[in-house]
Chains A and B, each alone.
Chain A
């Protein structure tokens, strides 16, 4: 292990040294970051990085595009990036949401990096400065080491980063705070000045860092928070204009932490709860909308009896327990289904269309979803569906045949990869629907029964015998 770390560090340092010489040129050098503060929260397996940048325009022209740089590995694990502009002085600050888009820079950067551009609401004039707050959310970024642990061991993970913020701009002063879930930190690389107090490691302040300067570090620490990852979630929302919305959610849940190795002993697990299986988890909490009814929780082989539902007028909470506790690498698949009153979620828009207003997200709390598919099944006979989602998703149309369907129902399929709870927001699906279609199925049933009775009556009254 030591050798391995050393090799990595040497490599990184060589790269780092090289970079100092190579670093020049590249993006619009209009900005200088006068002060940068980064707070990295490692307390769960979803990593939040809060970056506060004080950006100053040192160029001659007003500019409105601030570029952020991330390493390719970071981009691979990036679930979300969000930027706010902070205005006003202390205690009277207002924040404005800014648009962030991935961009390519024309001139080859000295380091392999990917870029995001923040579009400021008002261009920054020469000499002016502003404060930006950037939130990065990473998933699957902590590397369990050792990769396999036994039941009684706790889970140790690596966090890799650089002590200096990767940026295409010159940074005058910067500090990085790393918060670990507990005080148990096995090792971390010091880049002086470095200071560790309690659960926090402070890197910096560093002065006058040229663009693209990095200084690789790692933190090896204990993290026993449940690494619960939903590999795939398919949520089906079926609208019935008879007053019900039926939601069915198919989960593939996995414990993405260090893999479980060797024995699973029930007697140890039952009698020594805290020292045993510290990184495993048993309970999950799903927050469902209020007025939820007919909730079920089952899997391919039947109902799972370990669940509790608590409802009140504002929200409903469903506590579920998979059939067995999940240790590292163990999987569980299950289905949650529930019904909702239609009037809470379906509205009529001004242009005679109807729209469904529903939460885009995973009801399980604190859950990372690798692939989230939402299928909105519109009633039979509805036309021109159009989804409105606050962030980019893939969408397509499908057809589904449910009970008593003749022409099939239109299904709007929305797909999002790398979903984190911060994405939770509302989305809408607009469509037109003629209420006459509601009568189709009852009429079909009624006529079928009518035909049956007519046939019976005819059979009783008609004498089919040949001889009299």
Chain B
């Protein structure tokens, strides 16, 4: 080998590596950016678990690391849903906990002595970083590597995703969005390649998604829909057949290993679409084969009509029989509420009572997507311009998820990756077109100046350019405009992350009179008091929002928690809270409750307290026990707590527990005692006497109040 030949060999390699180096370094930076932009809450507050559900996840992860997988899988939790208990292993998606426990084990194996809490806190940012990589590869698959890079950058800071993946937000979604996008990517890759290996990989991706989040339903309905669309538009191919069959069959079998999902893939209405499409695929394949065998087209047409009719009829009959016999369960309320946004309000108040299940306001779209909202249609335009199997997929993903995002606030999360990818296509395609325009003109000018002779095409283009003298400037301006918009996007995202999405909601922070930071740590004060100073077997009754936190931080048994699997039980608590004290006392005794916990914001002006949630308790309680009627608590349809409030309102247990001895309290200068700062009124009942309960603990800012249930009086 001579020197020159090696250098010839190296030349393209070098160019390639330079590009690769740039690419890899950009990806590394995006990876790091995605991680650190989610650390605001750790820097502002501390490394802690946020919100409500993450506390359950944290508690189960702790259990998993302490007791091992089998104990975790067979765990019967006595501390929640007293006296029913909860079969934890069979009623959760274990993906998140197992992931965190594995990371924890790995780090300990590598001799990094970290606490499991740190692992849990940083799991979501870590997976967000991984999502950026997946977004890059996905973008590369559907468009080109430029679009992939832009997609990675957009998704790294997109507020819609950050809202669920800041450090400490240790929730299923943090891992699930990664799994969702990864599954989609693998499936699209499988469709493009027609390879069994990618199909297998997507089946495993699907399995991970099933193990992590209930949102897998979206995958198992979107993919069949996509396949159906391809079939209808005549894009059926062997690649599709291989990819879908492999993914569906293996994914289904794997998903059955998750106890919470079980046989739902063959038994529940939500999963039937996938099965129907699966059979349709077989019919298509069969028809293809028959077409191949039969040369006579007329005969085939007849055969086709007969087979399709038969197949559809058979499928319909099977479905009908399945539903009628109860083998196939009908759609659940949650599924209905997705298709019909008003359904939950009328039928399932417990779903409607959660703020993140409300229909999305326009402002929150703007807040979470910013310029992506405008880039999204542009991206759709580019996708339609260059239709392929992959772009059809992303278009369908984008459109369906946007619909769901409109139905429920929290499903903006599912739409985010699609919006980012489609917007990335718009950005990448636009910028590429503009730069090509700028560069080609230079090139032409160069060629013209150096060689003098140019091809007819080039000269015609040059003349075209000359005919449009403003084109270059226009392109420059557009390019700058794009960069300006993108930089605005980056600033907006950072601002939103730091201001809106990085508060743990356990610790409340406010600005004091002198501009100093005041911290209200009342929740933990109360939970820690429960943990230390009540009997270990004490039962605590509170509204279900605080159930997970009480069991995780207070380590005490609760009556209801955020799992909300038993509506009657929650309604019983709602009924107790909205009854008079002596009626409530009987319910409390029957539930064997020792302590009652209420959250009260009247002193601090904290507005998401139990009095403001109280109407939902009435509604949910009244949904099961018709004794509780919502109008009893309202005056002319108005909800109030001052002197003009309804008499039942002024004497119900929740009112009494919230405002007990509040009438003596001066909250604000210049206002009468008993002035409720959260609602801005003087309370209506200042002389509250408690007969069966006694104040056991009130936190320093009165946010959490705990009452002890007295034993029944002696009868003689």
Contacts and interface: CB of A to CB of B under 8 A. Distances in A.
Interface of A: 262-267, 271, 299-306, 323-324, 329-333, 401-406, 460
A302 B524 CA distance: 8
A370 B694 CA distance: 34
Given A264-B696, A267-B661, A302-B524, A403 B553 contact: no
B113 A302 contact: no
Nearest to B662: A267
B75 interface: no
Given A266-B698, A331-B533, A403-B111, A305 B528 contact: no
Contact of B529 (A263, A306, A323, A403): A323
A401 B111 CA distance: 8
Which are the 6 A-B pairs with shortest beta-carbon distances?
A266-B698, A331-B532, A323-B525, A303-B46, A301-B553, A403-B113
Nearest to A406: B111
Contacts of A403: 111-113
A86 B694 CA distance: 59
A38 to B, nearest CB: 39
A264 B695 contact: yes
B77 interface: no
Contacts of A333: 532
A295 to B, nearest CB: 14
Given A305-B521, A331-B533, 4 more contacts: A264-B696, A267-B662, A303-B45, A324-B699
10 contacts: A262-B694, A263-B696, A264-B697, A265-B695, A266-B699, A267-B665, A301-B527, A303-B46, A324-B697, A401-B111
B532 A330 contact: yes
Given A265-B661, A302-B48, A331-B533, A324 B113 contact: no
A332 B519 contact: no
A324 B519 CA distance: 15
A299 B528 contact: yes
Interface in B673-715: 694-700, 702
B113 A301 contact: no
Contacts of A266: 695, 697-700, 702
B46 A302 contact: yes
A361 to B, nearest CB: 25
A265 B699 CA distance: 10
B698 A265 contact: yes
Contacts of B531: 300-301
Contacts of B661: 265, 267
Contact of B519 (A262, A300, A305): A305
Contact of A264 (B48, B112, B506, B698): B698
A263 B694 contact: yes
A405 B664 CA distance: 59
A125 B708 CA distance: 69
Contact of B664 (A263, A267, A404): A267
Contacts of B698: 264-267
A165 B695 CA distance: 48
Contacts of B700: 266, 324
Contacts of A323: 521, 524-525, 528-529
A302 B694 CA distance: 29
Nearest to B55: A301
Contacts of A302: 46, 48, 506-507, 524
Centre residue among B111, B519, B702 by max chain A CB count within 10 A = B111
Interface string B96-116: 000000000000000111000
Nearest to B553: A301
Centre residue among B112, B531, B699 by max chain A CB count within 10 A = B531
Contacts of A405: 111, 113
B521 A324 contact: no
Contacts of A402: 113
Contacts of B662: 267
A333 B521 CA distance: 17
Centre residue among A299, A324, A402, A404 by max chain B CB count within 10 A = A324
Centre residue among B17, B524, B664, B696 by max chain A CB count within 10 A = B524
A333 B525 CA distance: 12
Nearest to A460: B17
Contacts of B506: 302
B196 to A, nearest CB: 17
A306 B553 CA distance: 19
Nearest to A332: B532
A262 B696 CA distance: 7
B46 A324 contact: no
Contact of A324 (B112, B529, B664, B665): B529
Interface string B489-532: 00000000000000000110000000000010100110111011
Nearest to B519: A305
A300 B46 CA distance: 13
B536 to A, nearest CB: 12
B57 to A, nearest CB: 15
Contacts of A263: 694-696
A380 to B, nearest CB: 11
Contacts of B699: 266, 324
B525 A401 contact: no
B113 A330 contact: no
Nearest to A325: B700
B525 A324 contact: yes
A119 B343 CA distance: 90
A19 to B, nearest CB: 45
Contacts of B525: 323-324
Nearest to B45: A303
B45 to A, nearest CB: 8
Centre residue among A263, A402, A405 by max chain B CB count within 10 A = A263
Contacts of A300: 528, 531
Given A264-B698, A266-B702, A406-B111, A301 B528 contact: yes
Contacts of B521: 304-306, 323
A58 to B, nearest CB: 58
A327 to B, nearest CB: 9
Given A264-B696, A324-B529, A330-B532, A301 B524 contact: yes
Contacts of B507: 302, 305
B468 to A, nearest CB: 45
B553 to A, nearest CB: 5
A401 B553 CA distance: 28
Nearest to B107: A403
A302 B523 CA distance: 11
B558 to A, nearest CB: 16
A217 B697 CA distance: 39
Contacts of B524: 301-302, 323
A310 B364 CA distance: 45
Interface in B302-357: none
Contacts of B113: 401-403, 405
A306 B525 CA distance: 11
Nearest to B506: A302
Nearest to A254: B532
Nearest to B114: A403
Nearest to A271: B664
B283 to A, nearest CB: 37
Contacts of B702: 266
A263 B696 CA distance: 5
Contacts of A304: 521
A329 B662 CA distance: 27
B585 to A, nearest CB: 17
Centre residue among A304, A305, A333, A402 by max chain B CB count within 10 A = A305
Centre residue among B112, B521, B702 by max chain A CB count within 10 A = B521
A271 B111 CA distance: 53
A369 B17 CA distance: 66
A321 to B, nearest CB: 10
Interface string B541-579: 000000000000100000000000000000000000000
Nearest to B554: A301
Interface string B588-600: 0000000000000
A239 to B, nearest CB: 16
A10 B507 CA distance: 59
Contacts of B48: 302-303
